[in-house]
Amino acid sequence: MLSKKLEAALNEQINAEFWSAYLYLSMSADFAAKGQPGFANWMHIQFKEEQDHAMKLFNYIISRGGHPELKPIAEVNTQWASPLAAFEDTLAHEQEVTALINELYALATEEKDYATQSMLKWFVDEQVEEEATAQGIIDALRMIKDNGFGIYTLDKELSARVYTPIEAE
């Protein structure tokens, strides 16, 4: 059984994950509107993954006898000046999510909730991957600069990304 404090914190993280999904869906829409289907695809898959993250937490709370509480999703930005600006925002956002996950893990440790620590380990590892992937795309975009063919090529590369659902235990 979850403590009320940990249950409340996990519920806050559900909201943060759904907000992340909303952000990436907005980025996908912006890229699609600008004729960059590969970037739009990458962000749309990111949207789906964030929904999976929220559902993993949602189902975990239920499995521990808690009650998920869904809250309103705050407004997100709807336009970015460039692919680089969007991915810089992506990295900054993922770094914020990493901090939130670390705080949750610290709370679970403080409360000696080993089951929650175990579940959160997946999120800790996932955040390392999320940040590294965003940084890799930023590095490529910085190398490309304003080269149209380079942007076109990266857009084609990102269109190959395929959604793989996570197990939302």
CATH number, domain of 60, equals 1.20.1260.10
Q: Characterize 8-17 residue by residue with b for buried, 16 or more Cβ atoms within 10 angstroms of its Cβ, and e for exposed.
A: ebbbbbbbbb
Q: Kindly write down the DSSP assignment for every residue of the chain, as one continuous string.
A: ---HHHHHHHHHHHHHHHHHHHHHHHHHHHHHHTT-HHHHHHHHHHHHHHHHHHHHHHHHHHHTT------PPPP-----SSHHHHHHHHHHHHHHHHHHHHHHHHHHHHTT-HHHHHHHHHHHHHHHHHHHHHHHHHHHHHHHTT-HHHHHHHHHHHTT---------
Query: Per the domain annotation, does 47 fall within a domain?
Result: yes
Query: Per the domain annotation, does 117 fall within a domain?
Result: yes
For 90, the 3-state DSSP assignment is: helix
Query: Per the domain annotation, does 167 fall within a domain?
Result: no
Query: pTM to 2 decimals?
Result: 0.95
Distance CA 94, CA 73 (A): 17
Q: How confident is the model at residue 169 (pLDDT cuts 50, 70, 90)?
A: very low
- Position 4 scores a pLDDT of 98
Query: Per the domain annotation, does 12 fall within a domain?
Result: yes
Q: Characterize 129-143 residue by residue with b for buried, 16 or more Cβ atoms within 10 angstroms of its Cβ, and e for exposed.
A: ebbebbbebbebbee
Query: Per the domain annotation, does 169 fall within a domain?
Result: no
Please give the residue range of the domain that contains residue 63: 4-158
- Position 168 scores a pLDDT of 46
Query: Per the domain annotation, does 109 fall within a domain?
Result: yes
Query: Per the domain annotation, does 128 fall within a domain?
Result: yes
- Position 73 scores a pLDDT of 95
**Summary mean pLDDT of the chain:** 97
- Position 18 scores a pLDDT of 98
pLDDT tens for 82-131 read 999 999 999 999 999 999 999 999 999 999 999 999 999 999 999 999 99
Domain count, the chain: 1
Q: How confident is the model at residue 142 (pLDDT cuts 50, 70, 90)?
A: very high
Query: Per the domain annotation, does 165 fall within a domain?
Result: no
